[in-house]
Structure 1
Amino acid sequence: MSQGNERLHHQYIKYTVYLHIEDPWKLFLFHAHKAAMDAFTRGLALELAPFGVRANTVRPGAIRSNFHRRDNVPGLGDDESYNKFLDTIAKDNPSGRVGEQEDVATAVSFLASDKASYINGGDIVVDGGRYVQY
């Protein structure tokens, strides 16, 4: 029988994105939602830490995937336009490249591992240095 003081050793990892949104109202809603989710994650980190549950956020930058090819960024349906888009992003990034899905997966895998057992309520930015540029 449980005494009620067992530690669970679980992780909650929130994945958040940066989007190009031109409509000011949609942009406002996006940032308001993002701020609320950040506060939610920090609240989880505080409330659930005594039970061995950690909560963290992974913030990827531009990652090579089909995400941009969907209706999120108009005009990127063909390979030539998409590759030109990625080249532009890479040139503007301090690392000189676009992220790969494996870059994000590595961060998530690390946070979910025991090696990150003392990381709670944090953000890992996976964007090649783009965030610190501004």
Structure 2
Amino acid sequence: MNGEGPEAGVALVSGAAGGIGAAVARALAEAGTTVAAVDRDGDRLAAVVGKLAAEGLPVHAHPADVTSRAAVEALVEAVEQGTGPIGQLVCAAGVLRLSEARWTSDEDWHATLAVNTTGVFLLARAVVNRMVPRGYGAVVTVTSNAASTARAGMAAYAASKAAATAFTRCLGLEVARYGIRCNVVAPGSTDTPMLHAMHPPGAAASAAVAGDPAAYRTAIPLGKVATPLDVAHAVRFLLSDRAGHITLETLTVDGGATLGTPA
């Protein structure tokens, strides 16, 4: 039930209004999976889902704030009742607040952890508790190679992604006996609005590829940044029956930027 094609059932994808989340929604829908696309930005989500639906893809918009327990419980119940049992969960919602660790504000710290960590916890708890009685399911959390490699100016982000990684692996250990697999995809620099916001206009890709020795940041060996679809393909693989004996793992998609360091 967690494979590719029409038998894959329903997938819930958070952060689906753009970037990696939108690419994941497309990739899964093209495989025949019905996608419940979730994002707190209702207008952007409607635009993305409208385009996919116009192409005949089975994607439905569900505006929701993943940092709210009540909103998440209502969301998951609505999808299960209105669309069908959720067999796949992709936690791709994320925010980035740049600041050196010692200058990070309380607000930036809490906002980052709320989306990147608590959002994963709330979604996974609500969905997996429904997967367990059914005896199947697959979860993928999208984190970052910053979860395991120190990055200057990204302490809150890196900490939140490391926590989400650890949570996903612990969850996977606990629910493996119910036939539920939990894995992590850890992208590096990816051609998304988040990356472009970190650099002057037009300079994001070249800066990421070149690296920054002054900030102890290596170049990207493959000589290019990832596309959202590169990451989506990794997510789709881990959700599929082709990865049916893979759980508790992290698949790093960063063009070699962390030199093969486990994430």
- TM-score tier, shorter chain, comes to 0.7 to 0.9
Q: 1:103 aligns to what? A: 230
Residues 28-67 of structure 1 aligned to structure 2 (within 5 Å): 29-67=156-194
Q: 1:108 to 1:6 in 2, by over 3 A?
A: same
Correspondence 1:90 to 2:217: no
Residues 11-22 of structure 1 aligned to structure 2 (within 5 Å): 11-17=138-144, 18=146, 22=153
Q: Specify the SS of the correspondent of 1:132.
A: coil
- Distance in 2 of aligned mates of 1:64 and 1:117: 29
8 Å CA contact retained: 1:7, 1:52: no
29-38 or 96-105: which moved more? 29-38
Q: Specify the SS of the correspondent of 1:128.
A: coil
Q: Specify the SS of the correspondent of 1:131.
A: coil
CA RMSD of aligned residues (A): 2.5
- Distance in 1 of aligned mates of 2:138 and 2:260: 30
Q: Specify the SS of the correspondent of 2:259.
A: helix
Normalized against structure 2, the TM-score is what?
0.40
- Distance in 1 of aligned mates of 2:260 and 2:183: 23
- Distance in 2 of aligned mates of 1:130 and 1:69: 18
Shift of 1:7: 5.9
One-letter amino acid of the structure 2 residue matched with residue 85 of structure 1: A
Q: Specify the SS of the correspondent of 2:256.
A: coil
Deviation track 1:32-81 (CA, whole Å, cap 9, x = no partner) reads 433322221111111100111011000001111112234xx2x53xxxx3
Q: 1:133 to 1:119 in 2, by over 3 A?
A: closer
Q: 1:132 aligns to what? A: 259
8 Å CA contact retained: 2:195, 2:204: no
- Distance in 1 of aligned mates of 2:254 and 2:186: 8
Q: 2:89 aligns to what? A: none
Q: Specify the SS of the correspondent of 2:189.
A: coil
Q: Specify the SS of the correspondent of 1:68.
A: helix
- Distance in 1 of aligned mates of 2:258 and 2:240: 25
Shift of 1:126: 0.3
Normalized against structure 1, the TM-score is what?
0.75
8 Å CA contact retained: 1:58, 1:126: yes
Percent identical: 32
- Distance in 1 of aligned mates of 2:207 and 2:165: 29
Structure 1: where are the runs of 5+ without partners?
Answer: none
Q: 1:122 aligns to what? A: 249
Higher helix share: 2
